[in-house]
């Protein structure tokens, strides 16, 4: 006697080829197999025209700091390359050298310098060059800020005032206290958008009367690979589009229970001929928690999968570069990499 299968099978070729199968205790069929010679009679070799036809890019949300868009028809290797480049290889400007003339605040020098390094700087990195370790700072590769704050007692504060922000002047040193000191022709070049920290309200350190900070700050161009302070994104991530297929129908009170297994808005309970029925309306909102597979009554009635070539990309920019520019720059970085490798390979092989 053949034992009854726990889950109904995902053996059909189309599912295995195009979907990542999500089961109760594992995820299978994750690798892409769309390569030549894998499927008889099908030519899956790279065809630029076919790719252009099947590739879809749809932007869903855009703001000054966040962007969500869909890419359909691309492979995970390339989508991941874009994600990695967004995090680590798009250049930005960040505080690199901190010259401390005087620091009597409660925060010790190196910790203060570390905190300053993490302050995002609103400057267009394409207008600057990288500065090598041994190079001298010039107006083309360095941005200079001055942070000079002294804390004094506030003569206008009420008697018995306890709030330090009211009792003292400059009790908190904010990133907004960093004053840009334009070098060379920077004042001309950045007349329209003066250089400043992205956020004015980051607390860098705290002072009490008599304490002061007197610091000169140099910012340089760098990559997230080197240090996370140069990463232009809070994060960049993607997820695959979920898919929920119901085997047969789920009706009555079971439909309501089924709806509760998913986040709000994923499954709708509609009344058809007086009978309640569960209908999947928005699988995009599903977080694929697999809650439904934990219930024995639904285990064999639902198939949870993810569409292998549909990427829901989310880019959260720190603020220095807008997310739409960020994505274009990231794709250009990948394109430049291929160009560099190609030229180097040509010269290596020609030398032989």
Partner 1 sequence: MSTIVSRMDEDQIEVDTGKVSVVPGTMIEPQCATFCLQDEDHTLGNALRWALMKNSEVDFASYSIPHPSEARTNVRIQTSDNTTAADAMYKGLDDLADLCDHVIQAFQVELAKGEFEYEEEENAF
Binding stretches for partner 1 (CB under 8 A): 32, 35-37, 43-46, 48, 51-52, 55-66, 69, 71, 74-75, 77-78, 80-81, 84-85, 88-89, 122, 198, 319, 324, 327-328, 331-332, 334-335, 337-352
Q: Which residues contact 62 (CB under 8 A, 6 or more apart)?
A: 323, 324
Least distance (Å) between residue 72 CB and partner 1: 11
Q: Which residues contact 96 (CB under 8 A, 6 or more apart)?
A: 117, 218, 219, 220, 222
Least distance (Å) between residue 56 CB and partner 1: 8
Whose Cβ is closer to partner 1: residue 52's or residue 133's? 52
Least distance (Å) between residue 76 CB and partner 1: 8
Cβ(106)–Cβ(206) below 8 Å: yes
Whose Cβ is closer to partner 1: residue 13's or residue 77's? 77
Least distance (Å) between residue 20 CB and partner 1: 16
Give me the residues paired with residue 179 across strands: 146
Least distance (Å) between residue 196 CB and partner 1: 9
Whose Cβ is closer to partner 1: residue 77's or residue 296's? 77
DSSP state, 169? E
330 backbone dihedrals φ, ψ, rounded to 5°: -65, -45
Q: How far is Cα 122 from Cα 111, in angstroms, rounded to an integer?
A: 22
Q: How far is Cα 27 from Cα 77, in angstroms, rounded to an integer?
A: 18
Whose Cβ is closer to partner 1: residue 70's or residue 214's? 70
Written as six digits, the tokens of 124 are 């267009």
Give me the residues paired with residue 306 across strands: 20, 242
Least distance (Å) between residue 198 CB and partner 1: 6
Least distance (Å) between residue 200 CB and partner 1: 10
Q: What b/e readout covers 60-81, taking b as 16+ CB neighbours within 10 angstroms? A: eeeeeeebbbbbeebebeebeb
3-state secondary structure 74-119: CCHHHHHHHHHHHHHCCCEEEEEEEEEEEECCCCCHHHHHHHHHCC
Beta strands 27-28; 19-22: pairing state: antiparallel
Q: How far is Cα 59 from Cα 70, in angstroms, rounded to an integer?
A: 6
Distances (CA, A) of 317 to 220, 232, 352: 19, 6, 46
Least distance (Å) between residue 316 CB and partner 1: 13
Whose Cβ is closer to partner 1: residue 3's or residue 41's? 41
Whose Cβ is closer to partner 1: residue 84's or residue 239's? 84
Whose Cβ is closer to partner 1: residue 300's or residue 324's? 324
Least distance (Å) between residue 36 CB and partner 1: 4
Whose Cβ is closer to partner 1: residue 57's or residue 203's? 57
Neighbouring C-beta atoms of residue 318, cutoff 10 Å: 20
Whose Cβ is closer to partner 1: residue 210's or residue 265's? 265
């Amino acid at each position: 006697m053949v034992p009854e299968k726990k889950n109904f099978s995902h053996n059909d070729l189309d599912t295995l080829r195009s979907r990542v199968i999500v089961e109760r205790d594992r995820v299978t069929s994750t690798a892409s197999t769309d390569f030549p010679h894998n499927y008889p009679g099908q030519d899956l070799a790279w065809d630029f025209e076919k790719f252009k036809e099947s590739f879809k890019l749809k932007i869903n949300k855009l703001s000054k700091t966040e962007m969500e868009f869909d890419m359909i028809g691309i492979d995970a290797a390339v989508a991941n390359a874009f994600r990695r480049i967004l995090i680590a290889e798009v250049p930005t400007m960040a505080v690199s050298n901190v010259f401390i003339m005087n620091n009597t605040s409660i925060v010790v020098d190196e910790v203060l310098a570390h905190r300053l390094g993490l302050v995002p700087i609103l400057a267009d990195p394409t207008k600057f060059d990288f500065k090598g370790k041994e190079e001298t700072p010039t107006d083309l590769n360095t941005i200079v800020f001055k942070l000079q704050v002294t804390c004094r007692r506030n003569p206008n504060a009420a008697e018995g005032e306890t709030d330090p922000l009211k009792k003292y002047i400059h009790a908190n040193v904010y990133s907004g206290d960093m004053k840009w000191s334009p070098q060379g022709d920077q004042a001309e070049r950045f007349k329209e958008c003066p250089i400043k920290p992205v956020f004015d309200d980051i607390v860098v350190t705290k002072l009490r009367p008599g304490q002061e900070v007197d610091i000169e700050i140099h910012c340089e161009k760098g990559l997230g690979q080197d240090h996370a302070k140069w990463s232009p994104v809070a994060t960049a991530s993607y997820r695959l589009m979920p898919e929920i297929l119901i085997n047969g129908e789920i009706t009555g009170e079971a439909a309501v229970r089924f709806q509760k297994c998913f986040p709000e808005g994923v499954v709708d309970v509609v009344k058809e001929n007086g009978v309640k029925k569960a209908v999947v309306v928005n699988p995009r909102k599903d977080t694929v928690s697999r809650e439904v597979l934990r219930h024995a009554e639904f285990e064999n009635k639902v198939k949870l999968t993810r569409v292998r070539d549909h990427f829901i990309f989310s880019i959260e920019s720190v603020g220095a570069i807008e997310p739409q520019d960020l994505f274009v720059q990231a794709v250009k970085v990948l394109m430049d990499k291929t160009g560099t490798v190609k030229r180097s390979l040509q010269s290596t092989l020609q030398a032989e």
